[in-house]
Structure 1
Amino acid sequence: MDQLAAMRALRRVVELGSFTAAADALGISHTIVSRQVRQLEQQLGAQLLNRTTRRLVLTGAGKDYYEASRQILDAIDDADRAVGQHQARPTGSLRINAPMAFGTLELANWLPQFIARYPELNIDLVCNDRIVDLIEEGFDVALRLTRDLPDSTLVAKRLASSQVMLVASPAYLREHGAPAVPSDLLRHNCLTYTLAERPNEWSFTSADGARETVAVKGNLRANTGIALRTAALAGTGIATTASFIVHEDVRRGELVRVLCDYTIRPRELYVLYPQNRHLSPKVRAFVDFASALYQQRDWD
C-alpha cells in the first residue's frame, strides 16, 4: 500500500464528504479510493470513518489521524513547492530600494551583471536617503548601510562591512592644516551626514583601543554622502563618508585621508526583504547574487 496516497485519499474523502467526489478530485476510480482507505484502516488496526447511507463521519481515532496526516501532507506539499520555486526561472518585476549614494555609485556598477544573468526580470530601482516601508511601498528587496538595524519583521542578511573614513581636499589641508588627533577637529569645518544617529558626534578608536568622541561643527549638513563628497572636493571642509563613495577620489589624490591612525566604526551592508513562508525566485536570485558578489570582492 502507498501510505501517502492513502492519506491523500482519506483527506479528500473527509474534505469533500464522499468517496465519489474524492475520486473525481484525485482522478482515480471510486473503487481505488475505497480500497486505499480500507487498507489504511487495516494497517492502523482502527476504523477511521463511520459510513452511513447519507454521510461519512470521522471516528475519534479518525479525527486524530486526519489532523496528523493533514499536517504531514501540508509539510510535504510545502517542501515540494519550495524546491519548485527555487528551481523556477526568476521573472516579473523586481522593485529594489537603496540609499542614494550606494545605489548610484555602487549598485549601479554591478546591477547590469545581474540583469544579464536574469533577462526575464524587469528591474525597478528606487534610490533615496530615507527609510522606506518595504511592504507598504511595495518593494521586494532593499539594501541598507547602517551600524545598527532597527527591530522589524524583515529578514536581514549581512553582505559586507564598509569602512568609514575622514577626507578633505589638498587645497583645504594646505589652508587649514591637517588634524593630528581627533580633538583638532574642533578647529575645522566638519561636513556632517544628517541621517547618522548623532551627526555632530564623531567617535574614533586609536591604535591602542582608546575611544574618543568629538562634538564637531560645520556649515554644511546633508542627508546624502554624494553632497558631502562634492563639498569636500571643492575644499569646503572635512567629511566623514563611506569609503566606496570616495575611494576613487583618494586614489587619484583629489581627496586625502586624515586621521589615518584612528578608526571609525564601519557600516554594515545588509540586504532586507519581507519575511514570507517561501522566498520568491526573483528575490532569492537577487539575494544569492549579491551575497556571492560581496564574498568574492575586496569592497573597500
Structure 2
Amino acid sequence: MVRCGSFAEAARRLGTPPNTLSRRVQQLEAQLGTRLMQRSTRKLSLTSAGQDFHARCAGAVDGLVDAGQALMSGNDVPSGLVRVAAPADFFDLFPMESLAAFLAAHPQVRMDFVLSDARADIIGDRIDVAIRGGVLEDSGLFARKVLDAGRDGLVASPAYLAARGAPARLADLVDHDCLVFTHPSGRADWRLSGPDGEDAEVQVSGRFSGNTAQALRKAALAGLGIALLPSTMTRRELRAGLLIPVLPSFHRKGHGVHLVHASRRHMPSAVSAFIALVADKLGELEERPVTAPGAPA
C-alpha cells in the first residue's frame, strides 16, 4: 500500500477488496497501539511511526517474497539433499553408473545413502525414501511397488549339484548344504508350498550363512549350497545357466520391493526424480545381460 499510494491501487494489484486491506491495517495498528497511516479518500501517507515501522519491515518482507518466488520457480528443477535408506547390498543390484548419470543430469541434487539391513525410522532419521523388501507394516506411510512379489525358489549351481546330486524330495534337503540367513543355531525352517498347494516345512542347515540375500545368492553361484531366493534375484542367472532350479514344484510366495516415503503431498522434485529412476532401473534388472563367471566384462 505504501508503494502503491492508495488502498484502491494496492487492492487492485492484490485482488483483494479495499475494505479488507483497510480493516487489516486497522487491526495491525490496534495491535501495535499506534497509528501507522494518515488516510484520505484519494491517498494515504505514513505517520512517523509508520515510516519507522516500514523501514524496519520492508526489507524482511521483500526477502520473504523473493524466497517464496525462488522456491516456487525452482520446484520443477530437482535440487537439494535426498536421503535414502536401502539394504546394505543395494548397490550390488542397482547400477552405480545409473546414479552417476542421475547426478550428472541434476547438478543441484545431493544424495545421502543410509545402507543397512535394519529398518530405518523414516521420520526420525529424516529419510526421504526407503527401499524395502518383504512384508510392509501398516504404518501410515506411502509405498510404491517397483518389483512384483513373484516367488521365492530353491536354486543351486551346476557344480554343487554335480558334486552332491539333486534332492528328489523336500525331506532330502536335510542332507544338503543349505544357505541360510544368519542365526545362532545355524539352522532355518523353510516353509514351502508344494505342487498340491499344501504347505510343507523342512529344517535345513549348512556351512555358510549370511545376513543379506545377496550374500546367499553369491554363495549359491560359488557352489556352496542350495539357496531359497526371490525369483527377481535369480531369474537372469537361471536363464544363463549359472543357477539351476532345485525342486521346482516347491516355492514360497515373495513380497516384492517397495519405495516407501512419508507423504505424497509437496514431494520435492529431486525425490520424485529419484523414485522414478529407481522404479525404472529395478524394473530393468531381469533384462540386463548376464556375464558368465570368468568371462570378460
Bucket of the pairwise TM-score, normalised by the shorter protein:
0.5 to 0.7
Alpha-carbon offset, residue 236 of structure 1 = 2.1
Answering whether residue 137 of structure 2 is matched by residue 150 of structure 1, we say yes
Local SS of the residue matching 2:89: helix
- 2:35 paired residue number: none
Local SS of the residue matching 1:17: helix
Answering whether residue 102 of structure 2 is matched by residue 114 of structure 1, we say yes
- 1:17 paired residue number: 27
RMSD: 4.0
Alignment: residue pair count: 242
Gaps (5+ residues) in structure 1? Answer: 22-28, 33-79
Answering whether residue 225 of structure 2 is matched by residue 237 of structure 1, we say yes
Q: Provide closer, same or farther for how the CA distance between residues 105 and 297 of structure 1 changes in structure 2, counting only shifts above 3 A.
A: closer
1:105 to 78, 84, 93: 93
Alpha-carbon offset, residue 175 of structure 1 = 2.5
Local SS of the residue matching 1:175: helix
Alpha-carbon offset, residue 203 of structure 1 = 2.4
1:260 to 248, 257, 266: 248
TM-score, normalised via structure 2 length: 0.65
Quick check: 1:94–1:121 contact (8 Å CA) kept in 2?
A: yes
Answering whether residue 99 of structure 2 is matched by residue 89 of structure 1, we say no
Could you tell me the percent identity over the aligned residues?
31
Cα distance in 2, alignment partners of residues 144 and 122 from structure 1:
21
**Deviation digits for residues 98-117 of structure 1, max 9, x if unmatched?**
11233322353643443344
Answering whether residue 117 of structure 2 is matched by residue 129 of structure 1, we say yes
TM-score, normalised via structure 1 length: 0.65
Cα distance in 2, alignment partners of residues 12 and 268 from structure 1:
60
Q: Which amino acid aligns with 1:158?
A: K
- 1:217 paired residue number: 205
Quick check: 1:92–1:122 contact (8 Å CA) kept in 2?
A: yes
Answering whether residue 236 of structure 2 is matched by residue 226 of structure 1, we say no
**Deviation digits for residues 187-221 of structure 1, max 9, x if unmatched?**
222111249xxx82222223442322222222332
- 1:45 paired residue number: none
Which stretch shows the higher mean deviation, 112-121 or 6-15?
6-15
Cα distance in 1, alignment partners of residues 230 and 19 from structure 2:
60
Q: Which amino acid aligns with 2:141?
A: L
Which stretch shows the higher mean deviation, 103-112 or 135-144?
103-112
Gaps (5+ residues) in structure 2? Answer: 1-10, 32-38, 43-67, 289-297
Q: Provide closer, same or farther for how the CA distance between residues 17 and 194 of structure 1 changes in structure 2, counting only shifts above 3 A.
A: farther
Quick check: 1:95–1:138 contact (8 Å CA) kept in 2?
A: yes
Local SS of the residue matching 1:200: strand
- 1:177 paired residue number: 165
**Deviation digits for residues 151-205 of structure 1, max 9, x if unmatched?**
324322222215423221222212221123322212222111249xxx8222222
Cα distance in 1, alignment partners of residues 148 and 40 from structure 2:
62
Local SS of the residue matching 1:216: strand
Q: Which amino acid aligns with 1:284?
A: S
1:160 to 134, 147, 150: 147
Quick check: 2:94–2:282 contact (8 Å CA) kept in 1?
A: no
Alpha-carbon offset, residue 290 of structure 1 = 3.4
Quick check: 1:106–1:244 contact (8 Å CA) kept in 2?
A: no
Cα distance in 2, alignment partners of residues 125 and 187 from structure 1:
41
Structure holding more helix per residue: 1
- 1:57 paired residue number: none
Cα distance in 2, alignment partners of residues 8 and 104 from structure 1:
64
